[in-house]
Amino acid sequence: MTTFAAPARAYKSMTWVAADCLAALALALPAAAADPQPPASIETIVQFNTVCSNCHEGQCSGRLSFDSGAAAAHSHVERYIGKASEVHVAALFAMLRHVKETCAHYPAVPIRPATGAWEAAELAPWRNAQAGAYFIPLGRLAAGRRQLRLEFDGAAEGGARIDDERMETVADERLCGDTTKAVAFDATATTSYFLHLKAGAAILRRITFR
Ligand code: HEC
């Protein structure tokens, strides 16, 4: 019985905490709207989607619980990415907030329309070397069966996953020492797509769109 009573008390205090948070949020919102974050750099977007999203992917709780904001998240963030500036942590924090509040990817502009081929040099900025992973926005694709052919400079170990704006996975392939891999899925014209690629030490030479 005590095991039942304790959570009930905890629940009651959580309700009060939630009420406090809503009040704080109501105060914080006009200030946030008047002081928008500058658009995040590619490096930060890639870091968020190759490191933070491993645990925070698809969290749609509507709000953050670190009420004191980016400062409270600082030591948590540094555990995963090492020493980081206030500005950098604030940018990552804003991304997580965007994901939680909108239940969608933080917007990221693709290299250029996804047709033909994207080459190694233009793909390089979208790699997080530390994580052995890429995050590559593909943008909108023509509706219908689409195929991406990935070419690596060596054996790639990990996986290639594609999701849409709402973070719904549309394709998921394992990479087991592959040097090339085709990833296919049925695209709709009403959403944008994102490639999450774990390839270890392997470097992307090219992505060809079909
Ligand atoms: C190994 C898993 C893991 C990784 C990687 C990770 N986090 Fe977290 N994070 C958590 C957990 C667990 C919590 C506490 C529960 C929650 O709020 O989801 C948390 C909480 C947070 C919070 C407070 C959440 C809130 O609702 O107030 C922020 C902000 C945050 N993380 C940002 C980041 C950022 C930015 C990164 C990337 C640098 C990151 N985290 C990487 C596991 C992780």
pLDDT tens digit string along 31-41? 343 345 557 89
Q: Region 104-113: what's the mean pLDDT? A: 92
Among candidate residues 116, 159, 166, 99, the one with its CA nearest the CA of residue 135: 159
Tell me how far CA of residue 61 lies from CA of 15, 65, 71, 186, in angstroms.
15, 10, 20, 29
Q: Which residue among 46, 47, 49, 55 is best mutated to probe the pocket of ligand 1, counting the most ligand atoms within 8 A of its Cβ?
A: 55
Do the Cβ atoms of 120 and 203 come closer than 8 Å? yes
Locate the ligand 1 atom nearest the alpha carbon of residue 59 and give its number.
Answer: 18
Locate the ligand 1 atom nearest the alpha carbon of residue 63 and give its number.
Answer: 26
Long-range contacts at 166-173 (CB < 8 A, ≥ 24 apart): 166/103, 166/104, 166/191, 167/57, 167/58, 167/99, 167/103, 167/104, 167/105
d(CA 3, CA 199): 46
Residues in the chain: 210
pLDDT, residue 139, reads 97
d(CA 118, CA 22): 45
The 10s digit of each residue's pLDDT in 137-189 is 999 999 999 999 999 999 999 999 999 999 999 999 999 999 999 999 999 99
d(CA 185, CA 178): 19
pLDDT, residue 66, reads 57
pLDDT, residue 9, reads 36
Give yes or no for residue 25 having a pLDDT over 90: no
pLDDT, residue 28, reads 37
Cβ of 130 closer than 6 Å to ligand 1, yes or no, is no
pLDDT, residue 63, reads 65
In DSSP terms, which residues pair with 186 in a beta bridge?
Answer: 145
The 10s digit of each residue's pLDDT in 59-102 is 777 666 655 566 778 999 999 999 999 999 999 999 998 998 89
Domains, the chain: 2-102 (no CATH), 117-209 (2.60.120.380)
Locate the ligand 1 atom nearest the alpha carbon of residue 48 and give its number.
Answer: 37
Give yes or no for residue 3 having a pLDDT over 50: no
Ligand 1 center from residue 165 Cα (angstroms) = 21
Q: What is the phi/psi pair of residue 76, to 5°?
A: -60, -45
- What kind and span of H or E run contains 118? strand 117-119
Q: Indicate the pTM of the whole model.
A: 0.82
d(CA 57, CA 82): 20
User: At 57, is the pLDDT very low, low, confident or very high (cuts 50, 70, 90)?
Assistant: confident
Ligand 1 center from residue 56 Cα (angstroms) = 6
